[in-house]
């Protein structure tokens, strides 16, 4: 296994872990920078978040009240995007998938202006990073209407994947079929937030109905042997986010995190940050937390790290 990675984990040395190639495949771009980076840029010291948020809504409320007033509007979004690329550089993230909402793309002047700006950040901070932009829709959106106009965003070929986020069970999965059919036509990797707070069976249902290739979160799959078997057999990867699960109260702690059960049952898993600006645990620290809690061994964590890299480096 990678020697630096092993030493970083066993010595509890974040600096060593920072130097190792890693991926971050689930990252909400507008919340993808470090709080410390944003503090330096805005000159404002943000209050610490509570240990546990009151679910997604509580998290959103905290973000709106504590962070947003100091980096508002389009300018604030652009600053936080820049910070997400600065973090990719600092943390040696060799493969980065970040999701972007259409509202934000419109807010900064539409697809062309957006692509130019994001490409500039990518090139100036981390040109060697394999960057895979993801287009994301909130679950409450009018998916049929969005499917009509998705071409405006994805026909350029900039986006590599699609996602739906912002709460589960808001609409039936069937409602999203037009959106995912369009995504398929453009050969996007099809992802969705499922099984984070919702039941394991929903994961299988969403995969079967929408043809999902990967799941963002999906931690609740661990409660069903059937679903785990289904995911393993169909090679469906779960992009897990430990600190997010713990701080949103979906998982009792790092030691109990279902990543262990999922891994042991042959389900493909990766480790990701979700909302770094909120959960305040950068990617190298997520690996360290799981190691220090005794959830997974250094060898197992290294195997997961390599899976996330997916050929983006020589490793």
What six digits make up the tokens of 125? 């901070």
Q: Which stretch binds Zn ion (CB under 5 A): 3-11, 34-42, 107-115, 268-276?
A: 268-276
Q: Which stretch binds Zn ion (CB under 5 A): 100-108, 181-189, 226-234, 272-280?
A: 272-280
Nearer to Zn ion, 5 or 279 (CB): 279
Q: Applying CB under 5 A, does 24 fall inside the site for Zn ion?
A: no
Q: Applying CB under 5 A, does 82 fall inside the site for Zn ion?
A: no
Q: Which stretch binds Zn ion (CB under 5 A): 178-186, 246-254, 271-279, 296-304?
A: 271-279
Closest CB 191 distance from Zn ion, rounded Å: 10
Q: Which stretch binds Zn ion (CB under 5 A): 7-15, 180-188, 229-237, 274-282?
A: 274-282
Cα(152)–Cα(288) distance, rounded to whole angstroms? 41
Cβ proximity of 239 and 191 under 8 Å: yes
Nearer to Zn ion, 274 or 286 (CB): 274
Q: Applying CB under 5 A, does 87 fall inside the site for Zn ion?
A: no
Closest CB 236 distance from Zn ion, rounded Å: 17
Q: Applying CB under 5 A, does 274 fall inside the site for Zn ion?
A: yes
Nearer to Zn ion, 82 or 274 (CB): 274
Binding footprint of Zn ion, residue count (CB under 5 A): 1
> Could you give the dihedral angle defined by the CA atoms of residues 230, 274, 56 and 202, in that order, rounded to the nearest 10 degrees?
-10
One symbol per residue from 221 to 260: x for binding Zn ion (CB under 5 A), - otherwise; what is it?
A: ----------------------------------------
What is the C-alpha radius of gyration for the chain, rounded to an integer number of angstroms? 18
Half-sphere exposure of 292 (CA within 13 A, CB side): 14
User: Would you put residue 214 in left (φ > 0), alpha (ψ -120 to 50) or beta?
Assistant: beta
In angstroms, the Cα distances linking 145 to 40, 150, 165, 173, 176 are 40, 9, 17, 15, 10
Nearest to 32 by CA among 276, 282, 241, 245: 276
CB nearest Zn ion: which residue? 274
**How far, in whole angstroms, is CA 307 from its chain's centroid?**
15
User: Would you put residue 169 in left (φ > 0), alpha (ψ -120 to 50) or beta?
Assistant: left
Closest CB 244 distance from Zn ion, rounded Å: 7
Note the residues at the interface with Zn ion (CB under 5 A).
274
């Amino acid at each position: 296994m990678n020697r630096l990675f092993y030493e970083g984990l066993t010595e509890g040395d974040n600096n060593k872990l920072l130097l190792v190639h890693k991926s971050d495949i689930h990252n909400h771009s507008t919340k993808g920078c470090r709080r410390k980076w944003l503090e330096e840029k805005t000159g404002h010291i943000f209050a610490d978040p509570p240990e546990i948020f009151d679910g997604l809504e509580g998290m959103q409320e905290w973000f709106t009240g504590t962070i947003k007033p100091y980096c508002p509007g389009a300018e604030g979004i652009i600053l936080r995007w820049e910070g997400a690329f600065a973090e990719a550089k600092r943390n040696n993230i060799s493969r980065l998938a970040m999701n972007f909402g259409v509202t934000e793309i419109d807010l900064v002047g539409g697809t062309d202006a957006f692509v130019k700006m994001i490409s500039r950040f990518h090139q100036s901070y981390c040109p060697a990073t394999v960057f895979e932009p993801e287009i994301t829709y909130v679950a409450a959106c009018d998916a049929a209407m969005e499917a009509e106009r998705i071409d405006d965003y994805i026909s350029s070929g900039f986006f590599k994947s699609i996602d739906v986020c912002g709460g589960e069970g808001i609409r039936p999965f069937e409602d999203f079929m037009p959106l995912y059919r369009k995504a398929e036509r453009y050969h996007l990797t099809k992802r969705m937030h499922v099984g984070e707070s919702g039941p394991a069976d929903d994961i299988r249902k969403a995969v079967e109905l929408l043809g999902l290739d990967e799941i963002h979160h999906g931690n609740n799959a661990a409660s069903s042997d059937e679903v785990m078997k289904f995911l393993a057999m169909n090679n469906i990867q779960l992009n897990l986010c430990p600190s997010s699960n713990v701080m949103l109260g979906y998982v009792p702690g790092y030691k109990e995190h279902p990543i262990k059960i999922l891994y042991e049952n042959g389900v493909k898993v990766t480790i990701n940050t979700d909302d770094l600006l909120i959960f305040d645990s950068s990617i190298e620290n997520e690996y360290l937390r799981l190691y220090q809690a005794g959830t997974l061994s250094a060898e197992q964590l290294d195997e997961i790290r390599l899976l996330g890299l997916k050929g983006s480096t020589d490793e």
